[in-house]
Every structure is written in C-alpha cells, then in structure tokens.
Structure 1
Amino acid sequence: MRYFCFALLLSLGVGSIRAQDSTAVRRDTVIAPTTTDASANDLLAGLADTTQTEGDLLPHKMIFTQRAFWGPHGLLRSMKIAPLTSEGRVHELKVRRTMLVAHQIGGFITLAGFVAQGLLGAKLYNAKGQDYVDTKKWHERSATFINVTYGTTLALSLTAPPPIVGARKGFTSIKLHKYLAIVHLTGMIATNILAGMIENNSSLKPIHRAAAYTTFGAYAASILAITF
C-alpha cells in the first residue's frame, strides 16, 4: 500500500512541479466580485464572461492534468459531459471554487496527520519490545493515512477546472504556496523512499527524520501562506 501511495504521489508531483496557473486577461473580461481576502481571491478566483468566443474561454497555459480533462479536446469535452460554452465555463468556475475549498480542507486534515505522525515517530525512536511493535504499526498506519490525504489534496488542485483570470504579477502568497509545495512534495517522496530503506539500513533513521521534519515545516508554511 505504501509503495502504491508513493507511486501516486510521484506521478501527481510531476504535474505539480510543472504547474502554471496564469493566462492573459482580456480587456472586456468581467471579474465576478468576491468578499474574500486577497489570498483567497488568487486561489479561488471566479469569472463570468459572456462576450468571449469559445477559443477564448480557456487560459493559454494549463497544467497537463487540467488540459487532459478540461482542455478544448479534453476527456470531458469529447464525452460531451462539459461542453465548452460561456455558460458551461461559469459553472466550471463554481466547480473550481468547490474543489479548491476541498483542497484547503484536505490540507488541514493532512497537517493534523503530520502532527500525529511526528509524535508517533518520536515515540518509535525510543520504544522497545512490544511497545516498539505496537508503535511501529500505528506509525505505518498513520503514514498510509497521510499519503492518501496528501495525494487526494494534491489531485484536487491539479484536476480542478482552469481559471480565466491571470495570476497577479510579482511575488504573492499563492506563489509562495506553490514554491513550498515543491519542497514538501520532494520531502514526501524522500520520506517514503527512506522509510522503505530503513528496514535494511537503520543508519538512515536520522536522515529519514530530517526529511520528515523538513516536509512538515514546508507543508505547514504553505498552509499558513494562504491562510493568513
């Protein structure tokens, strides 16, 4: 199960590292007003535009997962599930908002899992006998839970319908969130690899612990970047 989750994270991670959420904004574009703060506007921006042609309804740049589902010739278009129309795009932007809200909720759930995993890991390093066996079992269960919630949270971000509003120029909290995502994704992959190697090489435990702490720090910082 651990290796399946690792493979899932690795495949999703390629898309995350390549992710670009930017596009040019037409002058006749109307941005729907929101009541959220600047960070939420960047992450959950919606747009209603009835003056665009079908060719202008999608951003010029999309990550490959979005293009596979929502592109002009994507799976949902070819199956007639989500026709590319102005009305359809308005609905898709509502779906996008819902998925990204779920992405944020999943982030907090995963963060709680990281905290529990850290406590179990600290206990495991000093445990002996039956206490070690029991703690190790819960440590592995916690790792599986984190991999599942982390992968789900990542998938929600990568497969959400694309936006229309271009990304704000300059350094923003959303860009910081994405840069930190590269760090904690790399840490997740390294932590999973090292966890499998520890069984045959206990000297890797300090490196595994350092990778886990780095992952947690980057993940917590990425959440704080779009929360406050």
Structure 2
Amino acid sequence: MTELPVLYSFRRCPYAMRARLAVAVSGVAVELREVLLRDKAPAFLETSPSGTVPCLKVEDHVIDESLDVMTWALQKSDPEGWLNMPELGHELIAEADGPFKAALDHTKYHTRYPELDPEESRATAMAFLSKLDQQIGDKLWLFGDAPSLADMAILPFVRQFAFINKPRFDADAGSNLSRWLEAFIASDRFAAIMPKLPMWREGDASLRFERAIAVANP
C-alpha cells in the first residue's frame, strides 16, 4: 500500500487552518498529525525545515509553506474552482500575508513590540479590512457567489484579528466584512477542519484526514 502524504498541523494556527481547508475541499487523502508546538516531536523537526506548521511530506518531498500546501492540494483536485480567481486575489493574499499579518501581530502581541503603537498597528490592519469590505460588496465572497483561494487563504487571519477584541471588531468592521467572516465561522466547512484531536507522538498511528474528523465528531 502506498503511504499517504503526512500533514503536520496545529489546530489553532491560521496557516494550518487554511492548509486543512484546501486539503479538505480537494478530497485528497492525507495522514493528519496534530503536533504540540511547545514540545515538537523529533520526527516533525526532521521533516520541517522551519519547525513550523503546516508541513506536508509527500514521499521524499517536503512542502513547508501553507500557500504551497493549498496549491498542491487544489492542483490535484479543485472541485469548487478555488484556483479560478482574478489576479487581484493573489494581490490580496500577498497583502494579507505581508502588511496585514504584521499589523495583526503588532496588535495582538503588542507587549513584544514596545517601540510600536498598537493603535497605529490596529489602524493599519483595519485599513486592509476596509478594502476587503469594499471588495465583497453585496456578494457572498470576494469575487462572487462561490469561494476562491483568496477567501480561504485570508479568512483564518481575519478571524484571528477579530478575536483580539471581538466587541470592538464588531463595532468597527464594515457590514460586508462582518457578514463574510460570520458566514465562514458558522459554516460546516470551518467546523469540519477544527476537530479537537489528541496530540501526535512518535509511535502513534496517524489519522487519515477524513477519519480524524470522524474520530473527533463520532
């Protein structure tokens, strides 16, 4: 029997969330290993050059970036057409992964950056979210009535920012953005990639991705 690709993940990490979203929608089978980031297993560290999640091992090849994991899965199977998006989608992902993520970190972990004003960082993040609000408009998703790679690559980070201070976010966010985020959080798709799984230890059997969901939600 051919060994399945191994996906190292951590439930709450937004990078790992978006990788799991793409793997789940693609239907590609992987073995899921939930790792403890404060006590990383040697096998994980031997696999991941950066020691970060997600990390996908496909035979002798390692994919160590979340967007690359998403693309790998969707290039194998893209039943909902996530890859069919305009160039603006790639530009929004780049902005989300760059300036927005930096502003998110400077807001959420402001004590680590005493030289920065967390309110200025929050304003920078909100400026990007305002751009998303305008892009969504009266549509369900960024580019229409179906999700794209950009939606699913960006939403886990918008969720993370929102829950820094959810009441304040709800008061300040545009109505389109709020509707977009809440629909994602309440979706069966999000619930399906967020089961609480036991941490993987070396010697443990890995969980096939579909079976991992079933184990968490019997």
Common fold by TM > 0.5:
no
TM-score (norm 2): 0.29
More strand as a share of residues: 2
More helix as a share of residues: 1
Structure with larger RCO (C-alpha < 8 A, sep 6+): 1
TM-score (norm 1): 0.28
Q: Report which of the two structures shows the higher radius of gyration computed on alpha carbons.
A: 1
